[in-house]
Amino acid sequence: MLALGKLLELTLAGREPTEKTQLTVDGVRMRWLAEGALEVRPPQAHDNGMDVLLSAGIHGNETAPIELLDRLLHAIARGEIKPRARILFLFGNPGAMRTGARFIEEDLNRLFNGRHENSSGPEALRACELEHLAETFFNQPDRGRLHFDLHTAIRGSKIEQFALYPFKEGRAHSREQLARLRAAGMEAVLLQNKPSIVFSAYTYDQLGAEAFTLELGKARPFGQNDGVNVERLELRLRQIIEGTEPSLENASLDGLQLFSVAREVIKHSDAFILHLEPNVENFFELPKGYLLAQDTSKNSWVIEEEGARIIFPNPKVKNGLRAGLIIEPVKAEAFA
């Protein structure tokens, strides 16, 4: 197997490869760009015009997606997967990956869309570098652009595998992309309704990619991910890479649950209280009239929405950041 196929091994060891470019026996070019960053380019005659960014490890302790990308890279390096798309593989936060931590100083996935300019430290520098790598990768006109940013969650979830679909003013969410997510094993999709500062929001908003954050289960250490089933996603990624993905036109959305963001719960001060058990799961249902959170005397969140649920509850975030999302169901008929 080509040495560059061992990108994860190089990243965890903090080593730079001696050879920056290698070719497979089929003429697929693998090029090391920076720490944790590898571009894969098919022979020109086999290029189908699709550019695919696959990122994982934005949080260093979310290992199942990292291992998934590692398997795909190994298969490409061995010639078992024959790409027809250009692919950029990114391991987001190498320093945190090496220590098994979520981050070193601050959450990398809250530093995109310019947010890193107001910060300092390793994550701010890395966010800037990842934006540059993505921008350079997606700089060729008239090509398809797709970004899957793969994660696992801090806590359990009543809906284990789900996607977050970013928002951009004037750009509609795509039924075909929802069908792609369903085929990749996503049980639910959260349709966002305002700009965000996560990595997939940057590539969606600024670079014109179809981009998604995928939550695949609960975070576990390396080698302990038997409980995270990514078989459907792995198959779909192989098909996208090889150009054999079944048509998405008229594909079914049956069984896919859709939600929209009703409100953000923002922690304004150290007085913030979230009235939930510490181990509450994502998609926990909230009854109408329930007092979800309180902050200062002027800030409280009482549930008004029908069928409301909570995702990403975290009262320990820094002041000014989101401590949870109140979401509500959306009818799939809207995308018929």
Active-site residue list: 215
| Ligand-binding site membership of 62 (annotated) | yes
The CB density around residue 211, as the number of other CB atoms within 10 Å, is: 28
Q: Give strand pairing partners of 156.
A: none
233: phi then psi, degrees, rounded to nearest 5: -65, -45
State how far the alpha carbon of 222 is from the alpha carbons of 51, 63, 119, 219, 226, in Å.
28, 6, 30, 10, 10
Q: How far is CA 112 from CA 118, 126, 131, 242, 244, in A?
A: 11, 10, 8, 30, 32
Q: Could you tell me if 87 and 241 are in contact, meaning their C-beta atoms sit under 8 angstroms apart?
A: yes
The residue assigned the tokens 């959170």 is 293
109-118 long-range contacts, CB within 8 A, separation 24+: 109/58, 109/59, 109/198, 109/199, 110/197, 110/198, 110/321, 111/197, 112/197, 112/198, 112/199, 112/201, 112/202, 113/195, 113/196, 113/197, 113/201, 113/202, 113/205, 113/206, 115/197
Give helix 231-242 / helix 175-183 axis angle, nearest 10°: 120
116 labelled binding-site residue: no
CB count within 10 Å of CB 63 equals 23
Neighbours of 271 (CB within 10 A): 12
Q: Are strands 309-311 and 210-218 parallel, antiparallel or unpaired?
A: unpaired
- 59 annotated as belonging to a binding site for a ligand: yes
Q: Which residues are annotated as a binding site for Zn(2+)?
A: 59, 62, 151
Q: Which residues are annotated as a binding site?
A: 59, 62, 151
